[in-house]
Amino acid sequence: MKRKVLFRAILGVIALGAIALIVWNSLISGEKQYIEERAEEYKADYQSANKNTKLVNDEQITERNPYEEKHDDAVTYPEDTITYMFTAAKANDVEGFYNSFTADALYKSFPDPTKMRDQMNEYLQFILQDGKLKDIGLIRKKVTNPDPMAMRVMVSASLHYDGLSRKEISIEVERFGDQHGSQGWLVITSITDIISQLK
Average pLDDT, the chain: 79
For the segment 138-179, what is each residue's pLDDT rounded down to a tens digit? Answer: 999 999 999 888 899 999 999 999 999 999 999 999 998 766
Write the burial class of residue 29 (CB in 10 Å: 0-12 exposed, 13-18 middle, 19+ buried).
middle
What value does the mean pLDDT take over residues 11-15? 61
CA dihedral 196, 156, 67, 105 (to 10 degrees): -20
Domains within the chain, CATH numbers bracketed: 28-198 (3.10.450.100)
Cβ atoms within 10 Å, residue 95: 17
What number of residues does the chain have? 199
Cβ atoms within 10 Å, residue 75: 19
For the segment 47-103, what is each residue's pLDDT rounded down to a tens digit? Answer: 665 555 554 454 444 444 333 444 444 447 899 999 999 999 999 889 889 999 999
